[in-house]
Amino acid sequence: DAEITQSPRHKITETGRQVTLACHQTWNHNNMFWYRQDLGHGLRLIHYSYGVHDTNKGEVSDGYSVSRSNTEDLPLTLESAASSQTSVYFCASSPAGEAYGYTFGSGTRLTVV
Amino acid sequence: AQSVSQHNHHVILSEAASLELGCNYSYGGTVNLFWYVQYPGQHLQLLLKYFSGDPLVKGIKGFEAEFIKSKFSFNLRKPSVQWSDTAEYFCAVNRKGYQKVTFGIGTKLQVIP
């Protein structure tokens, strides 16, 4: 069965370290998205991609970067982790087009100490 | 840019009570609308969606939502909730022709047996 997987499920890192969160989907979806979920803020878009080599900034992109070298993967990198980036991170994917809902991964809980 | 408002942040109901969760969006043009559900400790799942046609949309698990264009609303309803409906519910919107979706901050529903 097709799926979207995130790894790791939990991570604790120190302030200033570079961290990469993985997202891998086998749906063959063109679109991929990264969101962070925080109490009182709901889901906020970090970065998104509409296809290979396409990346775009979302509303809270500062301190994060992504790259899309193939259809399946959209890794999210925190260049220099900060305590404000402690959050739950969700990856999502969808087929090209506006008429589809998103398929979400199970999330990564990141703690920056 | 469009925005989504969910006015009820925390709702507590007894089993068998009826449910209505409010969702309003701010964009004046045509939109696509979604409701997602997140069960405790899990990822978001698509509950239902509206793109066109009948403004009353039926989704999984007995949920339905009604699009009222004049009120910019897309309220979620269920005639009789169960304990297993305890979850967080997110309303989301995208503009016609655009693939990026904006989420509301979510409503936590607690159903008491």
Residue-wise pLDDT for A16-49, tens only, equals 999 999 999 999 999 999 999 998 888 999 999 9
Mean pLDDT for the stretch of residues B107-113? 96
The neighbour count for residue A73, using CB atoms within 10 Å, is: 15
What is the model's pLDDT at position A105?
95
Does position A111 have pLDDT exceeding 80, yes or no? yes
Mean pLDDT, chain A, integer:
95
Does position A61 have pLDDT exceeding 90, yes or no? yes
Are the beta carbons of A102 and B98 separated by less than 8 Å? no
What is the model's pLDDT at position A1?
84
Identify all chain A residues contacting B44, using CB atoms and an 8 Å cutoff.
43, 90, 92, 102, 104
Residue A84: φ, ψ to 5° = -70, -10
Does position B2 have pLDDT exceeding 90, yes or no? no
Mean pLDDT for the stretch of residues B42-57? 93
Are the beta carbons of A98 and B104 separated by less than 8 Å? no
Q: Which of B23, B25, B39, B44 has the highest number of chain A CBs within 10 A, making it the mutation to test binding with A?
A: B44
Mean pLDDT, chain B, integer:
93
